[in-house]
C-alpha cells in the first residue's frame, strides 16, 4: 500500500512530531511504501497567488498550475492512503495546512463541473483518509463545546469529502496534561499506522 503523510508542525520538539514519528514507524513496520510532505520543512507556500486565485475564482483551467502544487498532486495520485497530522490551533489546522488545501485542491483536479454542470474531479478515489491531531483540551470538553464536531465536519465532510472511500479523524486531546495521555496517544498513532491495510 502507498501511504502519503501530510505533516504540518514547525517544531521537532513538539508532541505532534512524536505522533508523526510513531505513525511513520507503524506504517513502515507494516511494510507499506511511504512518502511525506513535511509542509514546514519544505517551506510550502500556503498563500494563494493572484494568478492562482484567477484560476480558481473564475474556474479558468487554461491558467497553469504551479510546479510545487503539481508535485503535491502527483504524491496524492501515487497514494492509496493519505494521512494528515497536525496540531489543533484555534479549533482548526495550522494555516500552512489550510493553504495546502487551498492550493493543491485545484479546480479541475479536486473539484469542478463538466459542461452539463455535473460535479467532476480528476483526483483518483483514495482508499482511506486518516486525520491525527493532538489538542490541548480533553476530548470530552471539545465535544461539550461543539468544537470536535465542527472540526470533524469541516475536515471529513468538506476537505476529504467524497474523495476518500473511508475517512476517520482521531483528536488526541488532553495534551495540556501531556503525561496523563502521552503513552496512550503514541501507542494509538503507531497502531493506526500499522493497521492501515486492515
Strand ranges of the sheet holding 81-85, from the earlier edge strand across to the other edge: 33-38, 2-7, 81-85, 126-134, 164-172
The tens digit of pLDDT for each residue in 164-176 reads 999 999 999 999 9
Cβ atoms 16, 9 nearer than 8 A: yes
Contacts of residue 142, defined as CB under 8 A and 6 or more positions apart, other chains included, come to 135, 148, 151, 171, 173
C-alpha angle with apex 51: 8 to 163, nearest 5 degrees? 50
Q: How far, in Å, CA of 143 to CA of 150, rounded?
A: 9
Q: What percent of the chain has pLDDT over 90?
A: 93
Q: Output the pLDDT for position 119.
A: 65
Residue 118 has a CB neighbour count (10 Å cut-off) of 8
Label residue 114 by pLDDT band (50, 70, 90). Answer: confident
Q: What percent of the chain has pLDDT over 70?
A: 98
Instruction: Please identify which residue in the block is written with the cell numbers 476517520.
Output: 168
pLDDT at residue 118 tops 90: no
The tens digit of pLDDT for each residue in 35-92 reads 999 999 999 999 999 999 999 999 999 999 999 999 999 999 999 999 999 999 999 9
In order of start, what are the domains of the chain with their CATH numbers? Answer: 2-194 (3.40.50.360)
Q: Output the pLDDT for position 122.
A: 87
Mean local confidence (pLDDT), 120-127: 89
pLDDT at residue 18 tops 90: yes
- Mean pLDDT across the chain: 96
Q: How far, in Å, CA of 130 to CA of 192, rounded?
A: 9
Burial of 88 (0-12, 13-18, 19+ CB in 10 A): buried
Q: Output the pLDDT for position 163.
A: 96
Amino acid at each position: 500500500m502507498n501511504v502519503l503523510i501530510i505533516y504540518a508542525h514547525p517544531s521537532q520538539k513538539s508532541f505532534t512530531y512524536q505522533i508523526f514519528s510513531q505513525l511513520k514507524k507503524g506504517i513502515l513496520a507494516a511494510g507499506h511504501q511511504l512518502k511525506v510532505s513535511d509542509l514546514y520543512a519544505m517551506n510550502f507556500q500556503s498563500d494563494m497567488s493572484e494568478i492562482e486565485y484567477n484560476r480558481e475564482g473564475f474556474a479558468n483551467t487554461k491558467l497553469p498550475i504551479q510546479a510545487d502544487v503539481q508535485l503535491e498532486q502527483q504524491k496524492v495520485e501515487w497514494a492509496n492512503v493519505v494521512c494528515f497530522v497536525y496540531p489543533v490551533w484555534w479549533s482548526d489546522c495550522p494555516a500552512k495546512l489550510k493553504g495546502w488545501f487551498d492550493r493543491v485542491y485545484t479546480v479541475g483536479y479536486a473539484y469542478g463541473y463538466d459542461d452539463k454542470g455535473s460535479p467532476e474531479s480528476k483526483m483518483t478515489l483514495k482508499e482511506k483518509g486518516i486525520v491525527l491531531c493532538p489538542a490541548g483540551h480533553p476530548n470530552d470538553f471539545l465535544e461539550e463545546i461543539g468544537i470536535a464536531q465542527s472540526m470533524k465536519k469541516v475536515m471529513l465532510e468538506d476537505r476529504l469529502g467524497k474523495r476518500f472511500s473511508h475517512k476517520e479523524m482521531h483528536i488526541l486531546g488532553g495534551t495540556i496534561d501531556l503525561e496523563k495521555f502521552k503513552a496512550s496517544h503514541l501507542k494509538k498513532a503507531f497502531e493506526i499506522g500499522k493497521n492501515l491495510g486492515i
